[in-house]
Amino acid sequence: MPRYFSANSGFPGRKQGFPLKLTQPNGGETYVVGSDTVISWTGIAPSDTVKLEYSLNNGITWKVITS
């Protein structure tokens, strides 16, 4: 189970745009191994590109969910 979630937006060297807000999951959820879950956010246009990652070691390394 991921132990650390982070929501960031923008590109290195460019001024950050609107803040990205993770709306789901929002904390306290319990999941069944192998089940699907909805991940949702606000603050960016539907046409913007998003790369979702998770960390099992407090952000030392990250694994891609989708990009």
| pLDDT tens digits, 30-64 | 888 888 888 888 888 778 777 888 888 888 888 88
Please give the Cα distance from 53 to 67 (Å, whole number). Answer: 9
Of 1-5, 22-26, 59-63, the one with minimum mean pLDDT is 1-5
**Which range marks the domain in which residue 44 is found?**
1-10+17-67
pLDDT value at position 51?
A: 81
pLDDT tops 80 at residue 4: no
Side-chain-facing half-sphere of 51: CA atoms under 13 Å = 8
How many domains does the structure of the chain reveal? 1
Global confidence as pTM? 0.54
Give strand ranges (E) for 1-67.
21-24, 40-42, 52-54, 63-66
